[in-house]
Structure 1
Amino acid sequence: MPGPKRRPTVKPIPEQDPSTLLREHMVKKIDAHNMLVSEYDVVDRQRPLPCWKRDLKIPRWLLLVLVSLTVVVFTGFILFTAVVTLKKETNGGPCKSNSDCRQDLGLMCNNYRCGCAYSHFWSDTYQICERRRMINRTCVDDSMCDSLASLECENVTLSSGGYQAQCQCKTSMSWSGYSCVYQLKYNKTCTLNANCDSSRYLFCDASIGGYCNCNVSMFWNGGTSNTGTCEYKRTVGQYCYPYDNSWCDDTGPVGQGLTCTAYTNPYGSEYGVCQCSKYQYYNGTASLGNGYCVNQHLYNQSCTSTSQCDYRVNLICSNNLCTCPSSTNYDSGMSINGGAGYCTPAQGYMDNCTASLTCSSSQSLYCDYTYYGGVSASGKCLCNSSWSYWDGTTCASKLSIGGECSSNINCISSDGLFCSNYTKSIGTCDCDSSHYWNYTCEIKQYYNTSC
């Protein structure tokens, strides 16, 4: 059986612009080969595109070559730059010009060595030149601080009690807001404590109109010069110069009240010694400086040494009391150099006495007007025989039972005592053999009496 017939292949009509078909038809039918047809294609004609707007058709192999070449050139440039950079010297390396140093790190050639500019320092942490640090910035050494501002690295006490190294002004300088300036010296005008030289312990004393001054516990030892410093005031017995009371300590809760006094001392005749003023004494230990000046004590007041008693009254310290010396009496009605009373000369033992020539009360003497039988206005200075005897210095109290004695007058005769063993140099006060002691000498009892 015969198969199906194969349909002949029909060639598809290519798509064409209608205006193009019209022109071809007109030319073919009317044989108008020379016919102007521009009027038919005016509408369809387009201006030619510039070259830069046309699509460039670059072969793929050429594009790959161009890209590869670009990568090679860029890589070469990076490698070249790295090699050149690595060949340059870092901090401390030798050099002849700045180009020999790692300028990207801020280095420059100085004295044939690569280093940072004067305003910078080499940071070991960041391996680069850093700007020198200003006030209160942390630091490790002086090179990190701005030397043009006169800063240096110092330990600073923190509020927590610890320490931290910071850039601070040098000694005798203070921060002005942009640099350190030298602090003012003694007696210079100021507005703040920071203006005054703290290394010399000066502060701005507003109480005297704003002048650099020492505090009340210190004094300026340089006179009118700027070569001195404030130092703590001297205590008792220390030298002062030149008789300047400001050298001596007159401060404290009560005030030591010391003055610079001319005195024979080992420091030289031009020096004085810090002492209490007249009629005062130092009530502490001189070596410790723990006392102050107080007025000397008056008659019959307590004392530990004669220096504490008013010498204007001629008092001495005896038995921890300010009293008159032997052979003197205290006369409260007299006053010499402003003192309260005076120790006047007195008659001694066995001296004649009158109402005006009194006996020494400090020796417990009294004027016995019966000595001359009462026929004279004078008498003798004697001890009261009822309770005392003359021991060669003063009227001493008579001794009771067992007291050491040298004669019967040493013992209380009113109690019946006498000095037994009187043939020896030292005896004892005792009752005689017919008496016994019962707070007094009593007669011994006879046989068969109560006892």
Structure 2
Amino acid sequence: NLITERSRSKRLYTFIHYEHSTHPRRFIIAFFVIIALSLSIAWLIAGLVRLRQTASYLESCAEGKAQCISQANLICSSTLFICLCPEQTFWDTNFRKCLTVRNINATCSINQQCDTSKGLICQQNSICQYSSNTYYSGTNCTTFLLFGDSCLTTSTPLCNTELGLICDPGTQICICPVSTYWSNARCESVSTYSSYCDRNTSCNTQVGLFCRLPGSYPACDCPLQSKLYTCDCNQGQAWVTGTGINSTSSCMNQGTSYNNCTSNSQCSQTLNLVCINGICDCNVPLWFWSQTSNKCLPCES
């Protein structure tokens, strides 16, 4: 019995000694686990707070509330308090960041992708090009000069050649070339004899034509009967069609008595002359040449 009691006492002592020796170790381990969990939770909370405080394109970035995403090259507008792209950049919806604007002839899908500071826009062919009425001068888009603007033949800006304009070296003014006129929109080819017109400049004034409008000079019937809103010759003239290779059709003064002719219209209507056998003469025997009146008069019945 004594041996049994000693054995029990020894086991109890061993257990108690073990418990006392392992208790500090467990406490230390538990302490560090708690510290680690606390730091993890704090880091997670801080990350969520930072995530909530970042703003993307066009989102609010009011002071103290959110910051624009720097990785997207965004900046906070000091006046609008929203995230915007810096100058010379645009917001790319695919990459979700601000990218540098594109130069002339670069591909595009919207105007903002092109360098609008140079006047470039995204044309229908998906290429950055200059807009209408402008041209690319090497650094930016320059507006063309229009009809009547002052110009220089040796320097820019240029007259709008797309509208047919040229710079007159004498007057240094943008004008339409010969045989064209300014229609308030572009240079148009002038009209010829008996063609429609709405102003004198729309007729070929170089060959004597004018536009017969209400209140114009008396009709000339040369050779066609004069009509309003058509290009016509002045009274006392006739439209003569050129027949040679280098000949020009034009309004010419009607012939007087005994001048050569090929049609009645080439003879003076004010003198009552007609073309008879290739000569301007009175229509005898119904008319005679009056020396007093200096024109053909009807014979008395």
Normalised to the residue count of structure 2, the TM-score between the two structures is 0.53
1:281 aligned residue (239, 262, 270): 239
Q: Which has the higher contact order (CA 8 A, sep 6+)?
A: 2
SS at match of 1:311: coil
Aligned to 1:174: 135
* Offset from partner CA, 1:102-128 (integer Å, 9 cap, x none): 221212234343332242111234332
Pair 1:114 & 2:83 matched: yes
Residue of structure 1 in register with 2:174 after alignment: 212
Residue aligned with 2:127, SS:
strand
Q: Deviations 1:140-172 (Å, cap 9, x if unpaired)?
A: 2221222222322234xxxxxxxx233333444
Equivalence for 1:195: 158
Counterpart residue type for residue 180 of structure 2: M
The one of 215, 226, 249 equivalent to 1:264 is 215
TM-fit CA distance, 1:330: 7.5
Per the alignment, do residues 263 and 89 of structure 1 end up closer, same or farther by CA in structure 2, a change over 3 Å counting?
A: closer
Q: Between the two proteins, what is the percent identity of the paired residues?
A: 25
Structure 2: distance between partners of 1:168 and 1:192: 22
Tell me, yes or no, if the aligned pair for 1:141 and 1:153 is still in contact at 8 Å.
Answer: yes
Does 2:72 correspond to 1:101? no
* Contact kept in structure 2, 1:260 and 1:275, CA below 8 Å: yes
Match of 2:103 in 1: 134
Assess if the C-alpha contact under 8 Å between 2:109 and 2:122 holds in 1: yes
Q: Is the 8 A contact 1:299 1:315 kept in 2?
A: no
Structure 1 position 216, deviation (Å)? 1.9
Q: CA deviation at 1:345?
A: 4.8
Change (3 A) 1:301 1:307: closer
Distance 1:170 1:311 in 2: 56
In 1, Cα distance between equivalents of 2:49 and 2:70: 15
Can you give the 5+ residue segments of structure 1 that lack an aligned partner in the other structure? 1-72, 156-163, 222-227, 266-271, 284-290, 349-451
Structure 2 partner of 1:314: 272
Q: Is the 8 A contact 2:102 2:128 kept in 1?
A: yes
Provide the rounded CA distance (Å) in 2 between the counterparts of 1:112 and 1:187: 44
Q: Deviations over 1:373-397 (max 9, x none)?
A: xxxxxxxxxxxxxxxxxxxxxxxxx
Query: Is residue 90 from structure 1 mapped to residue 59 from structure 2 by the alignment?
Result: no
Q: Distance in 2 between matches of 1:239 and 1:282?
A: 23
CA distance in 2: counterparts of 1:259 and 1:117, whole angstroms:
59
Q: Equivalent residue for 1:386?
A: none
Q: TM-score, normalised by structure 1?
A: 0.38
| SS of equivalent residue, structure 2 residue 71 | helix
What are the ranges of 5 or more consecutive residues in structure 2 without an aligned counterpart? 1-38, 217-228, 242-247
Aligned-pair CA distance for 1:324: 4.2
1:291-346 CA distance string (max 9 Å, x none): 9535458889554xx5465425523489xx98744612589xx9x99xxxx74655
Alignment of 1:38-437 (within 5 A): 84=50, 88-96=54-62, 100-110=67-77, 111-155=80-124, 164-185=125-146, 186-190=148-152, 191=154, 195-198=158-161, 201-206=164-169, 208=170, 211-220=173-182, 230-232=186-188, 233=190, 238-240=197-199, 246=201, 248-250=203-205, 256-259=207-210, 264=215, 274-277=231-234, 278-281=236-239, 293-295=250-252, 303=263, 307=265, 309-311=267-269, 313-316=271-274, 324-325=282-283, 327-329=286-288, 343=296, 345-346=298-299
Per the TM alignment, residue 81 of structure 1 is displaced from its structure 2 partner at its CA by 7.7
Structure 2 SS opposite 1:281:
strand
Asked if the contact 1:132–1:144 (Cα under 8 Å) also holds between the matched residues in 2, the reply is: yes
CA distance in 2, matches of 1:99, 1:86: 7
SS at match of 1:91: coil
